[in-house]
Structure 1
Amino acid sequence: MPGVVVVGQVARDLVLVVDRVPEEGGSADVRERRELLGGKGANQAVACRRLGAAVELLGVVGADRAGEDVLAQAAADGIGVAGVLRREGVPTALLVDVVGPPGVRRLLEDVAPGALLTPEDVRARAGLLRDADAVLVQLQQPGPAVVEALAAAGGALVVADGAPADARTRRRVLDAADAVRADGSEAEALVGWAPRGVPETVRAAQELLEEGPRVVALAAGETDVVAWAGGHVVLPHLGEEPVDPTGAGDAFVAALAVALLRGEDPATAAWWAAAAAAQVVGTPGGRPHLDPDRLRETVRRHRGA
């Protein structure tokens, strides 16, 4: 399988499952506790690996014990970590995911500025990007680092996820990316106006296609719209009632990228993405436990319905 480089956040995830999320001043017993490799970049890297791709991470962790632990977990997952910088004096990012009743969660993020990529970090690892078959770029990283990653990606399939930091970054993303994806809160920054409902989201995706990408995926409430030249599909959220939505978007992006890299048409890639997201939301935490056979069965069942 061709190689994927994921440019983005590498963090330690602390997942706390409670029967109820307490009100201000209240407390709740923790029913389940999990400590995981996390962050958007790592989540997407794990998902790509589970779907059969060879994967390298490009990100930042601290020169601390938490950084050692998350890199060891990534390596155990079969992910290359030569592109991950260990920064002295910076704590590894910590994400606390408090999961209450099904579908209810609170996410607390402790991400120091030094845990984000700089243009110099990206330039120092440009060889990874030049040699990749696909590059996944999280737009939550600073704009200059994103621009540097896009420039270094060469002829790779480029998939950008999130909201661009500024107008210059937005322009570079739309010029360079083969596919872009944004959730409901990010779409306005990517589109330039706030789509409401499915028809407006379809129109927004079609407008973005005219600016450069060949595939655009935008969330629209309880559905996702994926559009390409000459067509689009509106995807329901598949699966059972979600336990925790954390990581669903990351699995969506990873599956979309891997399917496109394998030469699938955009409609098929879109269904792969929806099925991958459905697998992730069934368990607490954003770590994807993807089963390719189950994913294919989900696609077959729902696409044929």
Structure 2
Amino acid sequence: MPEKTPRERGGGRVVVVGSLNADLVVRTPRFPRPGETLRGEDLLVLPGGKSANQAVAAGRLGGDVALVGAVGDDGNGALLRSSVAAAGVDVSGVATRPDVPTGTAVITVDDAGENTIVVSAGANGTLTPADLPAGAFAGAAVLCLCLEVATDVVLAAARAARAAGAAVVTNLSPFGPVPDELLELTDVLLVNEHEAAQLGGHGVRRSIVTRGGAGCVVHDGDGAPVHVTAVPVEAVDTTGCGDAFTGATALRLAAGDALLDAARYAVGVGAFAATRPGAQSSYPAPEELAAFLERAAAR
């Protein structure tokens, strides 16, 4: 009998507050040097944005997920709404801005599957604390945050979620200065190893430091850090793998998993995402993830 999804097991709701972007993706053999022009493959317009990606990853895996954000009244906004809703995510909290374009991310992917990303905020930059729906966090188990929207929105969401009894998972990406209050409100901090080095001592007792192909390191309270090894894959495209990891972590925490168990699960989800092109299009359903991990274990 297949394992029940978090929703079928009665796992708590995940609320994601933040960004939705249209990803403009071009593949090239390598990244251009300053001033250099390279030929690329056909331009792809794909649904993305860190928060939308995190919501889709959790939704595809069977979670009860809601997304709060903003898009423009344009084709890219319609694309994002459709993609997120198709993953089973509640998009009633996604506002439409008539006079602002949907946010975009210009992404270059090389032959090794690595990427560079430049983000233009668009409608994401118009999100304010007033856009947080009344009762958005009622019954929520986990709030998932990133830094692709204004800090006052992130702080307002964290305060409201904490007041409602939800755990706050904060992904400090794209990295920048953050107020001490946000770190104080954060229950679980997710950073990559470069962000962790820039942040230094942060005072958050529970955190995960992701290390790409080297897995992650879990810090859970006063215990010794635990290294979780990666699932080895030949990467096709690493775009959105960190978001897949974050969404999967939030999902399992909402279902009641310990932080280490959530991280072990998320490592597999992130590895799966690296085997397919794009961000949201690369995320697995539960049966796909199970088959992937079974094949990986047999190697």
**Shorter-chain TM-score: which interval?**
0.7 to 0.9
8 Å CA contact retained: 1:130, 1:152: no
**CA pair 20-77 structure 1, distance change in 2 beyond 3 A:** same
Report what 2:153 is aligned to.
145
Q: Percent identity?
A: 33
8 Å CA contact retained: 1:239, 1:279: no
Mapping of 1:13-24 within 5 angstroms? Answer: 13-23=23-33, 24=35
Q: Which of 216, 238, 247 is matched with 2:240 structurally?
A: 247
Report what 1:216 is aligned to.
207
Q: Which of 184, 192, 203 is matched with 1:175 structurally?
A: 184
Mapping of 1:1-305 within 5 angstroms? Answer: 1=7, 2-23=12-33, 24-30=35-41, 33-112=43-122, 115-122=125-132, 125-153=133-161, 154-162=164-172, 166-168=177-179, 171-188=180-197, 190-192=199-201, 208-209=204-205, 215-220=206-211, 222-229=214-221, 230-287=223-280, 288-293=282-287, 295-296=289-290
8 Å CA contact retained: 1:15, 1:34: yes
**CA pair 243-60 structure 1, distance change in 2 beyond 3 A:** same
Residue 185 of structure 1 aligns to a residue whose secondary structure is helix
Aligned length: 282
CA displacement at 1:191 relative to structure 2: 3.5
Matched residue type, 1:162: L
CA displacement at 1:100 relative to structure 2: 1.8
Cα distance in 2 for partners of 1:191, 1:112 equals 31
Matched residue type, 2:61: L
Residue 67 of structure 1 aligns to a residue whose secondary structure is helix
Cα distance in 1 for partners of 2:58, 2:21 equals 17
**CA pair 8-72 structure 1, distance change in 2 beyond 3 A:** same
Cα distance in 1 for partners of 2:107, 2:266 equals 23
Residue 227 of structure 2 aligns to a residue whose secondary structure is strand
CA displacement at 1:108 relative to structure 2: 2.8
RMSD of aligned C-alpha atoms?
2.8
Matched residue type, 2:283: H
CA displacement at 1:264 relative to structure 2: 1.8
Report what 2:3 is aligned to.
none
Cα distance in 2 for partners of 1:116, 1:186 equals 26
8 Å CA contact retained: 1:9, 1:116: no
**CA pair 173-190 structure 1, distance change in 2 beyond 3 A:** farther
1:230-253 Cα offsets, whole Å, 9 max, x none, are: 243212332213222211111111
* TM-score (normalizing by structure 2): 0.83
CA displacement at 1:136 relative to structure 2: 0.7
Matched residue type, 1:138: C
Cα distance in 1 for partners of 2:134, 2:243 equals 23
Matched residue type, 2:140: A
1:77-124 Cα offsets, whole Å, 9 max, x none, are: 3221111111232110111222121233232322237635222223xx
* TM-score (normalizing by structure 1): 0.81
Cα distance in 2 for partners of 1:189, 1:149 equals 24
Residue 144 of structure 1 aligns to a residue whose secondary structure is helix
1:254-279 Cα offsets, whole Å, 9 max, x none, are: 11111122222222111111111101
Q: Which runs of 5+ in 1 are unaligned?
A: 193-203, 210-214
8 Å CA contact retained: 1:126, 1:152: no
Q: Which runs of 5+ in 2 are unaligned?
A: 1-6
